Homo-oligomer: A and B are copies of this chain.
Amino acid sequence: MANNQAATTYGHGKGIGATVGIALLGMGTVGAEVFRLINENANDFEQRIGGPVAVRGIAVSDTSKERPGVPAELLTTDAHALINRDDVDVVVEVIGGIDYPRELVLAALRAGKSVVTANKALVAAHADELAAAANAAGVDLFFEAAVAAAIPVVGMLRRSLAGDKIQRISGIVNGTTNFILDAMETTGASYEDALAEATRLGYAEADPTADVEGHDAASKAAILASLGFYTRVTFDDVHCEGISKITAEDIEAADRAGYSIKLLAICERLTAADGTESVNARVHPTLVPKDHPLASVNKSYNAIFVEAEAAGSLMFYGNGAGGNPTASAVLGDLVGASRNKVHGGRAPEDNTYAHLPIASFGEVETRYHIDMEVADRTGVLAAISNVFAEFGVSLRTVRQEDRGETARLIVVTHAARESVLADIVEHLSGLDDVHAVNSVIRLDN
């Protein structure tokens, strides 16, 4: 057998007209929208699926909480019992977190229920285990909502581009950090002030770590890379730098040079001189030319570029977060999983046949925007240029601003390896005339 797919053909469905039983795990913003829309559009769901859907129960942590429009008899704290009901066919997980949802999703898959989840952290951390359980049971595991909410990038990679070869996936996949960076660029605010504003408006959570340190984007990068390169990439494989060190001065320097700073997730196929392929996934603040479409993605919007061999460049843009867009993605998956329960068949399963090695971050080549505080003295530029030359990295632009005793020197390099860049920064910092390397920000190629 030439592949690692489940060694079964797919069975028959329940038959046209059969009711599909749904277990809803979680009743936060997304869960409430999912429940509301299932009821509001019941006839449409029935027509699109081939049979009606019925929510059999909703697992919550507190059944006594006021939930307008939700019949009390649907609520339960016993998620396992709900999942295992004979009349439940599809389980929708919108709880969040990792350990508890993992336990529930695995229980559901093992019980032969198809699963729809919006949980990027879970999928990015435990994809192999979840895929194995789904394959063993021959059921669907869907997670369109886990990446960029209603932007259907998961489905596109899984199906629409299944006949193509993906070279690169890059984009803005975290709305919170984009809101903060956009606010800093628009108003000149400091990082701290922009974060406070994002928190006040509900764009950032009380503990913003997962967003601002890039963890959320890294989970999404892992999922996108796994799908695009048919290779398992997990959260731990993703090099991750957040935006908490970006200063108003960085934003302003970028702006003057014609760039916006965006937190990008970048998944890349690397091809060595001998043709050997590997993949890399990373998240870091990135300078994007102001005339590039990504630069004009503002507020909490998301945008994803996909570069494929035959398709060329494709861009997808939309609302990357929020209850409604996330519910849209969950419900698209719910219709798909329910259709398969009625008609038989199964969606393309998780497939990591390519097993490409993960390239370390040091092997990645990119360009750099380096901002230094240097002594304002003859010969400084020569000394600095020498460091770059020693490491075989050529400079694209050099800009110097006098500041009395010292000068600010901003250097943009041609493409160089991350490992080389690290060495260069170390050497630059060791020069007497370099008082500080203020920031190193990468440029998107």
Contacts and interface: CB of A to CB of B under 8 A. Distances in A.
A335 B16 contact: no
Given A9-B12, A15-B9, A150 B308 contact: yes
A343 B346 CA distance: 8
A350 to B, nearest CB: 12
Contacts of A315: 315-318
A150 B310 contact: yes
A396 interface: no
A357 interface: no
Interface in A321-365: 324-325, 327-336, 339-340, 342-346, 348, 351, 353-354
B33 A17 contact: no
A339 B348 contact: yes
Kindly state the interface size class of chain A when it binds its partner: 35 or more
B47 A332 contact: no
Given A160-B332, A332-B164, A150 B2 contact: no
A64 interface: no
Given A47-B230, A313-B318, 12 more contacts: A3-B50, A10-B12, A37-B310, A149-B311, A150-B308, A156-B160, A163-B332, A164-B328, A310-B331, A311-B325, A312-B319, A345-B345
Contacts of A313: 318-319
Interface stretch (A38-46, A77-85, A414-422): A38-46
Contacts of A330: 163
Contacts of A156: 152, 155-156, 160
A1 interface: yes
A139 to B, nearest CB: 13
22 contacts: A2-B51, A2-B52, A3-B16, A3-B47, A5-B16, A10-B12, A10-B343, A11-B12, A41-B163, A41-B165, A150-B161, A150-B308, A150-B312, A152-B156, A155-B156, A161-B328, A162-B336, A163-B333, A310-B324, A336-B348, A343-B346, A344-B345
A314 interface: yes
B335 A162 contact: yes
Given A13-B10, A331-B310, A345-B344, A44 B165 contact: yes
B310 A33 contact: yes
Contacts of A343: 9-10, 345-346
